[in-house]
């Protein structure tokens, strides 16, 4: 896979998890690779846990598709650790990563569809990602 394809899979992992877990985002872009959330606040245990899963969904997507770890995902792991550190009785980060892997495996066709469209277009809005998910 090319670097651009890996980046598309990584970012698609984030937004696919966000969509499936009911968390809105504004758009996702490849240049620079990131998800735009606008303003958001993480309050409550369930929301924090969903956010941690979404942070790890990028690296999980790359691992699922390539079979290798994601070398550029250090900040995603750090963000997930920060979210979990603020939680009482937080699950182990490995369990959160496994949850991200399971979520994406169950919705792999959405993940691959979003990654393909992101690679083709360079950016996708929330509405565009929702449309891709509805078609799969």
* Distance (Å) of CA 80 to CA 46, 50, 84, 94, 124: 14, 10, 6, 11, 24
How high is the pLDDT of residue 97?
A: 95
Helix, strand, or coil (residue 123): strand
How high is the pLDDT of residue 26?
A: 87
Q: Which of 32-36, 91-95, 112-116 has the lowest mean pLDDT?
A: 32-36
Q: What is the 3-state secondary structure (H, E, C) of 44-107?
A: CHHHHHHHHHHHHHHHHHHHHHHCCCCCCCHHHHHHHHHHHHCCCCCCCHHHHHHHHHHHHHHC
Q: Provide the whole-model pTM.
A: 0.90
Q: Which residue pairs, CB below 8 angstroms and at least 24 apart, start in 75-79?
A: 76/14, 79/55
Distance CA 80, CA 8 (A): 20
Domains of the chain: 3-135 (1.20.58.760)
Place of tokens 């996702």: 28
For residues 11 and 123, the answer to whether their CB atoms sit within 8 Å is no
pLDDT tens for residues 76-104? 999 999 999 988 889 999 999 999 999 99
């Amino acid at each position: 896979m090319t670097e651009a394809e890996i980046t598309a899979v990584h970012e698609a992992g984030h937004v696919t998890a966000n969509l499936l877990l009911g968390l809105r985002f504004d758009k996702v872009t490849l240049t620079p690779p990131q998800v735009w959330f606008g303003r958001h606040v993480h309050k409550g245990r369930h929301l924090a846990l969903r956010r941690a899963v979404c942070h790890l969904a990028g690296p999980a997507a790359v691992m699922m598709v390539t079979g290798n770890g994601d070398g550029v995902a250090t900040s995603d792991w750090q963000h997930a650790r920060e979210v979990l550190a603020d939680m009482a009785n937080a699950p182990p980060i490995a369990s959160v990563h496994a949850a991200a892997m399971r979520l994406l495996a169950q919705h792999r066709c959405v993940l691959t569809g979003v990654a393909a469209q992101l690679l083709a277009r360079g950016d996708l809005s929330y509405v565009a990602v929702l449309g891709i998910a509805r078609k799969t």
